[in-house]
Amino acid sequence: MDREIYAAIEEAHARGEPVVLATVVSTRGSTPRKAGAKMVIYPDGRIRGTIGGGCGENDVWLAAQQVARTGVPQLVRVDLTEEYAIEVGMVCGGVMDVLVEPLPPDDT
């Protein structure tokens, strides 16, 4: 999986395209992916890879849009223990911290 992620970053940078990288840096409890899982978010909103899908991944995708605009990294806490997660049928019950960082082409 990491090979796919790094290849996606290299390809985007070869085109002069910035990307945002989301990396799960820590987990507690039951989470869909563990520390080290990565996802690339392109300027047009496409993604490559996954950090687990669902509402939590959407929260990270939204943060990535802001990171792309501002260039300021964010640490996003994805809390899968809330009542909402139970209401929508999510089976996880943990917390993930996800680093969302800009990767402009000149960083390679």
- The per-residue pLDDT for 80 is 80
Would you state the structure tokens that stand for residue 84, as one six-digit string? 């909402």
What value does the mean pLDDT take over residues 36-48? 95
Q: Where are the domains of the chain?
A: 2-107
Would you state the structure tokens that stand for residue 35, as one six-digit string? 């520390």
Split at pLDDT 50, 70, 90, the class of 108 is: very low
| Eight-class DSSP state of 52 | S
| Eight-class DSSP state of 105 | G
Would you state the structure tokens that stand for residue 101, as one six-digit string? 């960082």
DSSP H/E element including 10: helix 2-14
Question: Helices in the chain by DSSP H: which ranges?
Answer: 2-14, 54-70, 83-87
Residue 15 has a CB neighbour count (10 Å cut-off) of 8
pTM: predicted TM-score of the whole model, two decimal places: 0.88
Please answer whether residues 62 and 45 qualify as being in contact, where contact means their C-beta atoms are separated by less than 8 angstroms.
Answer: no
How are strands ordered across the β-sheet holding 47-49? 47-49, 38-41, 19-28, 95-103, 74-79
